[in-house]
Structure 1
Amino acid sequence: MNATSPLNLRAVNLGDTAAKCAIRDRLGERYGTLGVPFAGDATGSANRNRLNANDHIIIAATSDTVTGSASLRCLTGHRDHAASFGVMEADVWQRKGGGTALVAALIDLADIWLGLRRNKLNMFADNRPNTAFYRKFGLVPKTQLTAYALRDDALSVALLTAWL
């Protein structure tokens, strides 16, 4: 793996499931997400099978390596102006511009192509690097979610963040 290779953004395809699961199963990446250890390809395939026309996934990759992904889940009905999103990137590729490119692409998709007016992300309150990263895009904490998720055998606090 060459961490200096140029990254390209593209749509997800069926062959990306194993690479996405491998990224998420690494402790450094998983710790900041709701992922659980040893999820493997079966979980990735189940997630892929739940995708519908309201879900958009962007892959960051070199010519031979998936380095990260971003997802935008558009809500429906009375909330069709809103979406939730998430980004993950392999530890070795962090701070090299891939995450920034993925979020910029999600913002472009949400604002310009889909006309969304509210985009939200929940993140663990103690994840200072993520908080700083998303703040540069105008994403700021709106409220705290107490006892949000189990992590390290304790219920953790999360931040509900959004840009409007």
Structure 2
Amino acid sequence: MDVTVRAMREADLPDLFELYNQPAFRSGTLALPYESVEAVKAWATPRSPRDLHLVAEADGRAVGAAALRPFYGRRAHAAEFWLGVNEDYAGRGIGSRLLAAIIDTAENWLNVTRIEMTVFVDNSRAIALYERFGFEIEGTHRDASFRDGAFVDVHCMARLRPGGVR
């Protein structure tokens, strides 16, 4: 399968709307069921000129998406990210391609030395992906989110740029 990682476009909105409303995406993120097109558009819109929004394109459509959101001020060396893959394309290396592009841009273009995020403790597939890219679990937030009628824990994970400032 031929996959291209590129900047997100307005024309990707229908594919992002499909991704955002899939059960697998909703289960692994803070997304709510039945999100509107307007809510998905707001989620996919950069909040700052420093934000990076990417899609993975395959078969003529956006089948994965990711964003990097650098922080400011005394945290300008750090950023957070999110990532999602259409469940019909899961397990095909799309998440790896998107995460590699996020890390490359963060470390080699934005001088970000710390990339962080939270992930549900039961999302073993995502945790394994992040660990392959050098992310480590730094702690666990108990009852951090409400999902499917119950409170669930999340791990906070981070990757420090190899040879970064310390």
Q: Does 1:120 align with 2:116?
A: yes
Equivalent residue, structure 1, for 2:137? 141
Equivalent residue, structure 2, for 1:90? 86
Q: Could you list the runs of 4 or more consecutive aligned residues of structure 1 that deviate by over 4 angstroms after TM superposition?
A: none
Instruction: Tell me the distance in 2 between the aligned counterparts of 1:73 and 1:110.
Output: 9
Equivalent residue, structure 2, for 1:107? 103
Judge conservation of contact 1:74–1:83 (CA < 8 Å) in 2.
yes
Q: TM-score, normalised by structure 1?
A: 0.93
State which drifts further: 59-68 or 137-146: 59-68
- Equivalent in 43, 46, 52 of residue 42 of structure 2: 46
Equivalent residue, structure 2, for 1:7? 3
Judge conservation of contact 1:12–1:59 (CA < 8 Å) in 2.
yes
Equivalent residue, structure 2, for 1:158? 154
Alignment RMSD: 1.3
Equivalent residue, structure 1, for 2:69? 73
Name structure 2 gaps, 5 residues minimum: 161-166
Determine what percentage of the aligned residue pairs are the same residue.
28
Compared CA separation, residues 58 and 50, structure 1 to 2 (3 A): closer
Instruction: Tell me the distance in 2 between the aligned counterparts of 1:136 and 1:153.
Output: 31
CA-to-partner distance for each residue in 1:62-115, whole Å, 9 max, x for gaps?
251111011100101111100001110011111111111101111100110111
- 1:119 maps to a residue whose letter is I
Instruction: Tell me the distance in 1 between the aligned counterparts of 2:50 and 2:142.
Output: 29
The 5 Å alignment of 1:21-60 reads 21-49=17-45, 51-60=47-56
Judge conservation of contact 2:20–2:26 (CA < 8 Å) in 1.
yes
**How many matched pairs?**
160
Judge conservation of contact 1:22–1:40 (CA < 8 Å) in 2.
no
Equivalent residue, structure 1, for 2:164? none
CA-to-partner distance for each residue in 1:11-33, whole Å, 9 max, x for gaps?
01111122112111010221111
